[in-house]
Amino acid sequence: MKPSHRFPSVSDNEFQELLLSLPETEGWTDTLVEYQGYWFLARTFPNVLFMQKHFQAHHQDIILASMPKSGTTWLKSLVFSIVNRSTYSFSDTPLLSSNPHRLVPFIEHIDPKLTSISINPTTSPTLFSTHVPYSFFPDSIKNSNCRVVYICRNPLDTIVSFWHFLTRVHLKWSVDEFAERFCKGEVRFGPLWDHILGYWKESLESPEKVLFLKYEELKDDTVSQVKRLAEFLGFPFSLEEENQGVVDEIIKVCSLRNLKELEMNKNGKSHPLFANESLFRKGEVGDWVNHLSPSIVENLNKITTVLAVYIFTDTQNDEDYCTAGSKAEQKKAEKIAFDVNLEKFDIAAKIKVIKEGPLPI
């Protein structure tokens, strides 16, 4: 396959003046810079800007989005298996020999100096992933027919998982110190709550283009959620496939237990800074109770209260949601509930120091 011309040429100095003007703070391993309300690694920030300005999406692309350590690796393996199930058998799937992050590359990790690249030459549609907020998407993504899947995880578990991951790359902070930075929003691609809300809002406004998945629901009812995911992507399972156990086989191949036992994930390396094995830990729901102090949990709950109200609870129990008749009316009622809560949450999101007290809700 010929290289996909996704990027024009770029000057090494294209974003240097902007980079030098941005507020910065010391992160856990590198300097962070703030831009348009979000924090990014200073050394990779030009790649994010380059993606925002130059990336050319195609209508058939699939973009997988998340905050770090929110189920990204699992989502990549599931989507790769769903869209390629007619190309590979379960005994020769590339997941057995390649880490999911190699099969579904991060757009913001692509070298900006490349004028053309060959990506996923064996797959159609083309799969990409990203950690950037929705507001940073280029117009080529927003205005195309490509589909976006966002996976969201309970922030408490995200923090613990992220902390464990970073301790393997020489993080010296305690889990509570790390969590305090989360409370201030000073984390890569954070604040986390703004990141989540951006994709949630877009999923309500454009449900045919953006699917919002919850990690906890994917864990609790994997079969139904995988079928929902396949339907959204345009690769629904036939009744024959379901009867043949194709859904169950995909879930088995993509399970944490299976992936972490593969040789290339135990000893391989897909990134110069960390080994593949650091990408796989427990994947459990609620593991935060074994790590976070009560005071940190209290502070985080102040921040995530509104998230819990309308994202981490069952919206179908909401009175307005239940009285809505059609799907369109349900979406409208859900959107109204979102806007009401978002108005309250915007106040809370501006609180940088948790000591100022509980949320005004």
Give the model confidence (pLDDT) of 65-82 as tens digits: 999 988 998 999 999 999
Residue 147 has what pLDDT?
A: 96
Structure tokens at 70: 């929110």
Contact status, residue 155 vs residue 182, Cβ threshold 8 Å: yes
Q: What's the average model confidence in pLDDT over 302-323?
A: 51
The pair phi, psi for residue 58, each rounded to 5°, is -110, 155
Q: Which residue among 131, 164, 195, 291 is the active-site one?
A: 131
Residue 233 has what pLDDT?
A: 97
Give the model confidence (pLDDT) of 12-37 as tens digits: 566 777 888 888 887 767 789 999 99
The pair phi, psi for residue 14, each rounded to 5°, is -55, -40
Higher pLDDT: 8 or 216? It is: 216
Give the model confidence (pLDDT) of 233-261 as tens digits: 999 999 999 999 999 999 999 988 777 66
131 is catalytic: yes
Report CA Rg, the chain.
20
List the alpha helices (DSSP H) in the chain.
Answer: 16-21, 45-54, 72-83, 100-103, 139-142, 155-167, 175-184, 192-205, 215-220, 222-233, 239-243, 246-253, 256-261, 263-267, 294-310, 319-323, 327-349
Residue 27 has what pLDDT?
A: 73
Structure tokens at 219: 């864990």
Confirm or reject CATH 1.10.15.40 for domain 22-286, answering yes or no: no
Residue 360 has what pLDDT?
A: 35
Structure tokens at 330: 């349900």
Residue 1 has what pLDDT?
A: 33
Contact status, residue 55 vs residue 90, Cβ threshold 8 Å: no
The pair phi, psi for residue 104, each rounded to 5°, is -130, 90
| For the ranges 98-102, 112-116, 144-148, the one whose mean pLDDT is highest | 144-148
C-beta atoms surrounding 138 within 10 Å: 17
Residue 313 has what pLDDT?
A: 54
Closest C-alpha to 288, from 352, 207, 216: 216
The distance of Cα 133 from the centroid of its chain, to the nearest Å, equals 9
List the alpha helices (DSSP H) in 311-358.
Answer: 319-323, 327-349
Q: What percent of the chain clears pLDDT 90, i.e. is strictly above it?
A: 31
Give the confidence band of 312 by pLDDT, cuts at 50, 70, 90. Answer: low
Instruction: Classify the C-alpha dihedral 58-44-22-162 as positive or negative.
Output: positive
Q: Mean pLDDT in the chain?
A: 75
Q: What is the pTM of this model?
A: 0.77
Give the confidence band of 307 by pLDDT, cuts at 50, 70, 90. Answer: low
Give the model confidence (pLDDT) of 314-357 as tens digits: 443 333 323 334 445 444 444 444 444 444 444 334 333 333 43
Domain coordinates in residue numbering, the chain: 22-286
Give the model confidence (pLDDT) of 264-302 as tens digits: 655 655 554 554 444 445 666 767 777 777 877 777 777
Residue 11 has pLDDT above 70, yes or no: no
